[in-house]
Amino acid sequence: MERRNFIKTTAVASASFFIAKDLLAKDDGPIYGHGNMRYRMDNKWSKADPNINPVNDCHEMVQDKKGRILLLTNETKNNVLIYDTSGKLLDTWGHEFPGAHGLTLVNENGTEFLFITDTVKNQVYKTTIDGKILMTIDVPLETGVYKAAKEFIPTETTVDTNGDFYIADGYGSQYVIHYDKNGKIKNYFGGRGDGDQHLDNAHGILIDRRNTMPTLLVTDRTRNCFKRFSMDGKLLEVIKLPGACVCRPVIKGDHLYAAVLRSPDLGKENSGFATILDKNNKVVSNLGGTEPVYKDGVLQPMSQAEKIFLNPHDVCVDRDENLYVAQWASGKVYPYKFTRV
């Protein structure tokens, strides 16, 4: 009996130790954000060895159906780094994307594919989840608005349920081009210009299905806003985010997340933060940024408040609503993880 009690007591004590250790680990790190959208930062999340698996600009991240986190970098030693949520590096692939920029995940009848934009090669690629190229999209000369490949510098894609996809030419001529699933052009809209229907730094694009009718959210980074368009390209709304040069929109549940590359404009380097909006397009939290303030229903200018980021480029939200933030031109740092508290 004494031996059994000793073993039982030892087991309980051991379990208590590991539980306490786990709780202490979770409490390690500063907390950022506002309201009920607050997060504990881990800037050492990635366990990759920079001597073996270096990154250059960490552009975008997605989570696949296996729960893995895929990071896209324009480092051709390994364009895609695949992690588990603890930061352990599981795999890498890709050497052919010197301008790797946009990473979009799509599930087609249970099979996942990626869309990758390359700003150096002026192309967009559809690939398998492990990197086999299935489709290449070149400059859309058929539109009549492009004369040469150098005018087409695509930054992001989004994919509809029927396989149609939209490409945002955010570093080129600022058009959004609509394709069918086979890569045939169906429509285009936007383009550079001064009116609200035009775009300047159309960095990101996403289909928003939070309401009855799906719409397109397109970044207008220079003008500190997202613009909502109908699926056929009619302007519906301008979501103003003063002081925030936002990157691509990311939706999880009712919330909209975005990295803010710089603040208050693109000329001020190392001034970024991350922002979170609710389903009514109200900013509810900023990580590393000033607390959102509304006066008479109008959002007041936001800015970096704490230098936890330099130039954040994307936010990935995992199944547990934790965040991963990738950065551009920020000393080749790996992404940071923010665990929701």
Select from 206, 80, 55, 66 the least CA-distant residue to 132: 80
pLDDT of residue 1: 40
Query: 27 pLDDT band (50/70/90 cuts)?
Result: low
Contact 219, 202 (CB under 8 A): yes
pLDDT in tens, 138-179: 999 999 999 999 999 999 999 999 999 999 999 999 999 999
The yes-or-no verdict on residue 4 having pLDDT over 90 is: no
pLDDT of residue 29: 84
The yes-or-no verdict on residue 125 having pLDDT over 90 is: yes
333 DSSP 8-state letter: P
pLDDT in tens, 8-22: 344 433 333 333 333
Q: Does domain 29-340 have CATH number 2.120.10.30?
A: yes
Query: 7 pLDDT band (50/70/90 cuts)?
Result: very low
Question: Mean of the per-residue pLDDT values for the chain?
Answer: 93
Prediction pTM value: 0.91
C-alpha separations of 231 from 2, 69, 206, 209, 257 in Å: 73, 29, 11, 11, 21
Domain positions in the chain are: 29-340
Burial environment of residue 254 by CB neighbours within 10 A (0 to 12, 13 to 18, 19 or more): exposed
* Rounded-to-integer distance, Cα 58 and Cα 73, Å: 5
* Rounded-to-integer distance, Cα 146 and Cα 309, Å: 36
% of the chain exceeding 90 in pLDDT? 91
* Rounded-to-integer distance, Cα 167 and Cα 205, Å: 8
pLDDT of residue 28: 78
pLDDT of residue 10: 40
Taking residues 103-128, report their average pLDDT. 98
Q: Residue 305 — left, alpha, or beta (φ > 0 → left; ψ -120 to 50 → alpha)?
A: alpha
C-alpha separations of 157 from 104, 153, 222, 234, 324 in Å: 6, 12, 19, 18, 20
Tokens 């691509």 belong to 248
Contact 290, 302 (CB under 8 A): yes
